[in-house]
Amino acid sequence: MEVTFLGTGTSVGVPMIGCHCAVCSSKDPRNTRRRTSLYVRTEETAFVIDTPPDFRQQALDFGIERVDAVVFTHAHADHIFGFDDIRRFNTLQKRAIPTYADAETLADVQRVFNYVGNKPSPHGLYRPVVEFVEITGPFGIGGVRLTPLDVRHGRKMTGYLIEHGGRRFGYVPDCHAMPEATVRALHGVDLMILDALRYTPHPSHICVEESLALLSKIGAKESYLIHLCHDVDHAELEARLPPGIRVSYDGLKLGGTGNVQIPRAGNGTERKAI
């Protein structure tokens, strides 16, 4: 199983429009963050978790040419507004694409994209063709098992425990609070990807300190912070993190060959097995 971080930024992205702070002006490419999204691929299947406004450019930049399914965490604009671009994958794959979410999220997505259907338009309109599937418990995409997990963030947010080939990883990109049952379900995962918006507290996201405390309880073998705003400089934060916890960046790939290639701020690369 290979995981690609298509985007690692907060709702406004980094750099922010009209901002000239040190991070928004940074030459370190790891400080350029599109809105958060994840691509999961195995030999059998490939799916995307969330389709942010940047989804088209993410697919072009990172060579995404196959999407067998879409999975949504929640229906905030920065996680769904690129959904229309799924129509290109209908053309490439010549079929409807199943789209999974909890009932509330599906209702919001269908309200925003009320022109989307499960059959081609009889008038020849170019629109996404999808099969909406309500999540009521664990489900499978190809050989990958996904278990929805309750997370507190706004009105509704679903995290996921994702399992394949004996590997387990957790994905919770937006989080204000995590119920103990969810912490227990994620305990000891091979990989944990968790929200860490900024250094100071926020009403709907956990901050870096809160994220580290939660990661300590989860006890993953390897963890990555995600959904970062312009308060966070990649290199500065990563230098302060405890062993086993790193900062994600756009284009980062984990798994596949078993190695991750991490660019340094200067020349050269560091290779790290996961």
Do β-strands 259-263 and 269-273 pair in parallel, antiparallel, or remain unpaired?
antiparallel
What's the pLDDT score for residue 126? 83
CATH second-level architecture of 2-273? Answer: 4-Layer Sandwich (3.60)
Show the tokens assigned to 51.
């389709």
78 touches 11 (CB < 8 A): yes
What's the pLDDT score for residue 271? 32
Percent of the chain with pLDDT over 70: 93
Task: Give the model confidence (pLDDT) of 91-107 as tens digits.
Answer: 999 999 999 999 999 99
DSSP calls for 85-150? GGHHHHHHHTS-EEEEE-HHHHHHHHHHTTT-BSS--TT-----BEEEEE-SS-EEETTEEEEEEE
With a threshold of 0.85, does the pTM exceed it?
A: yes
Show the tokens assigned to 37.
């999204």
* Mean pLDDT of all residues belonging to the chain: 92
pLDDT confidence tier of residue 274, bands split at 50, 70 and 90 = very low
pLDDT confidence tier of residue 268, bands split at 50, 70 and 90 = very low
Show the tokens assigned to 211.
């994220």
pLDDT confidence tier of residue 118, bands split at 50, 70 and 90 = confident
